[in-house]
Structure 1
């Protein structure tokens, strides 16, 4: 009797419901897979955002380092220029002092030197 029931075609309504159930299960599986893919894609996007932010921060660190190095180089240059200017000013001042000393010595020597009579008249009145 069971063999007879197994060979008999099933009711079309039962077949229809079974097909709908299979389709519903497949649809649910596909939706779950799609949701899983969306979640994975979103996770990848978030990971990429994090990587981008990390790179941006690395760039900021490099910019700060470059700025610090530039400032240090500028300070070093200013220091060297200041030292060079100070050295030049000292040399200039020393040179002026030496020139003033020579001028003073010359003036003293001229004051102590006998006066030459430009007329050639040495006490003789005409």
Structure 2
């Protein structure tokens, strides 16, 4: 469990700003699911304070640019009812994405963010002309 704790602290250090020490707020790290030689399992990280949790959740977007850890993401813990609601929303997003026109596919897709269905606009790099 020491390795998991260190990994959690490393990820938290990456999202905190330079004046914070949120990695010191880690209280407990638990691996979820059955062990498998080939797969990774989710980790549940319990923090000492709600303030630390909220800070981490607001800064979790900093992980998006990390190509080394692109398979790591941070989500809040949800109860069964919340997980079911999110599943319904994900299915609805999938259906809406399948019904988009070709033009719409270039501009946006549907995603579930903060327990709501939202349009996610796609950014395109414009070519610079000389």
> Normalised by the shorter chain, which TM-score bucket?
under 0.3
> Structure 2-normalised TM-score?
0.18
Structure with bigger gyration radius: 1
Q: Hey, which of these two has a bigger chunk of strand by percent?
A: 2
Q: TM-score, normalised by structure 1?
A: 0.19
Larger relative contact order (C-alpha < 8 A, sep ≥ 6)? 2
